[in-house]
Amino acid sequence: DAKTTQPNSMESNEEEPVHLPCNHSTISGTDYIHWYRQLPSQGPEYVIHGLTSNVNNRMASLAIAEDRKSSTLILHRATLRDAAVYYCILRPHNDYKLSFGAGTTVTVRA
């Protein structure tokens, strides 16, 4: 499986943007970039995914580098509810399992 590298932790202030980086230098042309998050004591939650172009949804934005070797998840205005572990996952187009790494633990300060 293609691997991703994320910082162990990040801190943010409430109502400020959060930029979560993910490096995936061995990504192949058909790998989707998925982001999930896991709030304390809950199951993982789908956030966003993309292939080549930047993507926006109601939860976040995903900025994908032109060479696709890195991406950034952007939470536009962090709230206390956004405190979670965020996972960046590469999913090959023909392999539906999700391979979770250690993720980035995001702490939001009030």
Partner 1 sequence: DSGVTQTPKHLITATGQRVTLRCSPRSGDLSVYWYQQSLDQGLQFLIQYYNGEERAKGNILERFSAQQFPDLHSELNLSSLELGDSALYFCASSVEGTGPGEQYFGPGTRLTVT
Which chain residues interact with partner 1 by CB under 8 A? 32, 34, 38, 42-46, 49, 51, 87, 91, 93, 95-102
Closest to partner 1 by CB, 13 vs 54, is 54
Closest to partner 1 by CB, 29 vs 43, is 43
Closest to partner 1 by CB, 1 vs 15, is 1
Least separation in angstroms between CB 29 and partner 1: 15
Least separation in angstroms between CB 23 and partner 1: 19
Least separation in angstroms between CB 27 and partner 1: 15
- DSSP for 41-100, written as a single string: TS--EEEEEESSS-EE-SS-EEEE-TTSSEEEEEESS--GGG-EEEEEEEEETT------
Strand partners, 109: 13
Given a contact cutoff of 8 angstroms between Cβ atoms, the answer to whether 62 and 54 are in contact is yes
Reading the block at residue 98, the tokens are 């999700």
Neighbours of 10 (CB within 10 A): 17
Least separation in angstroms between CB 8 and partner 1: 13
Strand partners, 102: none
Closest to partner 1 by CB, 97 vs 110, is 97
